């Protein structure tokens, strides 16, 4: 389970909560422009846009959960079990394995518009990174300052949705979340008016009652609504420190507390880490479940012409 959001308030930001019951060996990873990207079914990229994000610790290929590239394009993969479907190899003109989607899109494209043209010709195919790492069932959110879209690989092919909310969680598919949000159009950050009856003297007895009915559980549908409500009612100064603080406050309100969600295997879903990427500057901010300090990795602090992955322990 995960929650991903965009945030624009002077700067443009993109980030997520990564909710899992076990670590995936995550490390902050910079992929410089000349690190060779060996794709399984498409052309090897000897040179590409540089990117920074959180990836599984691997020296051969950057297995990103989310990242931002040097052009300000950001992308994240979120859990989508039961609905994600990867096509058989050899059926499409342009084929990517699920673990290749983020490096390929961010390495190749400078904007959502450019990526969308490629993605409409792309099939996500059923290839594992290794025997020990089968394909994870994913869907993706891709955004820049101009546009946000959702990519969902289903049996019928790769569906691409405009995402005016700038929010994504997990199942059900995005179409459901888009419709479900209409059930909450009466919510307000302001004190509510009496619409019950003009013949009854009813009034709010507490601050915050305009949001009565905002779902508070950890389900993906509820997290989608809660994140959207908080994001679209957010008020913050426009300086970097205030924006980063506000972004993490929004994510904190949809985070997983150990013990609150027990999986079918008896494990605990927790927010392993939260991150916020400044798409304008290439700074990747993050904090972990056990360390609430916000740390940062700056894409432009390293040699972007390098040919080796650069890692920062989490």
Residues marked active site are found at 2
- What is the DSSP secondary-structure string of 161-202? EE-TT-EE-SSS-HHHHHHHGGGGTT--SSPPP--S-TTS--
Torsion angle defined by CA atoms of residues 255, 104, 165 and 261, in that order, rounded to the nearest 10 degrees: -20
Grouping H, G, I as helix, E, B as strand and the rest as coil, residue 26 is strand
- Cα separation, 79 vs 22, whole angstroms: 14
**Three-class SS of residue 30?**
strand
Tokens of 205: 């007895």
**CA–CA distance, 163 with 142 (Å, rounded to integer):** 9
Q: Which of 14, 123, 11 is nearest to 65 (CA)?
A: 14
Strands (E), 51-198: 51-56, 63-69, 74-79, 94-97, 122-125, 138-143, 148-154, 157-162, 167-168
* Cα 117 versus chain centre, distance: 21
CB atoms within 10 A of CB 314: 17
Residue 21: closest CA among 287, 293, 284, 260: 260
Report how far residue 16's alpha carbon sits from residue 286's, in angstroms, rounded to the nearest whole number.
10
Question: Alpha-carbon distance 183 to 20, whole Å?
Answer: 29
């Amino acid at each position: 389970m995960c929650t991903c959001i965009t945030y624009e308030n002077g700067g443009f930001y993109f980030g997520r909560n990564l909710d899992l019951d076990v670590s995936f060996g995550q490390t902050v990873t910079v992929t410089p422009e000349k690190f060779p990207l060996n794709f399984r079914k498409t052309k090897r990229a000897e040179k590409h846009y540089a990117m920074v994000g959180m990836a599984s610790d691997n020296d051969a290929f950057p297995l990103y959960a989310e990242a931002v590239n040097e052009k300000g394009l950001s992308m994240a993969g979120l859990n989508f079990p039961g609905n994600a479907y990867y096509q058989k190899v050899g059926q499409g003109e342009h084929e990517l394995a699920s673990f290749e989607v983020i490096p390929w899109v961010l390495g190749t494209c400078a904007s959502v518009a450019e990526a969308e043209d490629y993605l409409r010709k792309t099939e996500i195919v059923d290839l594992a990174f290794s025997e020990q790492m089968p394909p994870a069932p994913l869907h993706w959110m891709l955004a820049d300052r101009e546009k946000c879209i959702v990519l969902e690989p289903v049996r019928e092919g790769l569906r691409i949705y405009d995402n005016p909310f700038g929010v994504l969680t997990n199942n059900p598919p995005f179409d459901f979340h888009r419709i479900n949000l209409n059930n909450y159009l009466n919510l307000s950050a302001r004190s509510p008016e009496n619409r019950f009856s003009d013949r009854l003297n009813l009034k709010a007895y507490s601050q915050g009652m305009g949001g009565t009915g905002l779902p508070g559980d950890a389900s993906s549908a509820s997290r989608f609504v809660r994140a959207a409500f908080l994001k679209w009612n957010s008020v913050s100064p426009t300086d970097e420190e205030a924006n980063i603080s506000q972004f993490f406050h929004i994510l904190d309100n949809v985070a997983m507390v150990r013990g609150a969600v027990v999986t079918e295997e008896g494990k605990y879903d927790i927010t392993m880490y939260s991150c916020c990427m400044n798409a304008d500057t290439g700074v990747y901010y993050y904090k972990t479940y056990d360390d609430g300090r916000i740390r940062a990795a700056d894409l432009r602090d390293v040699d972007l012409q390098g040919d080796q992955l650069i890692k920062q322990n989490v």
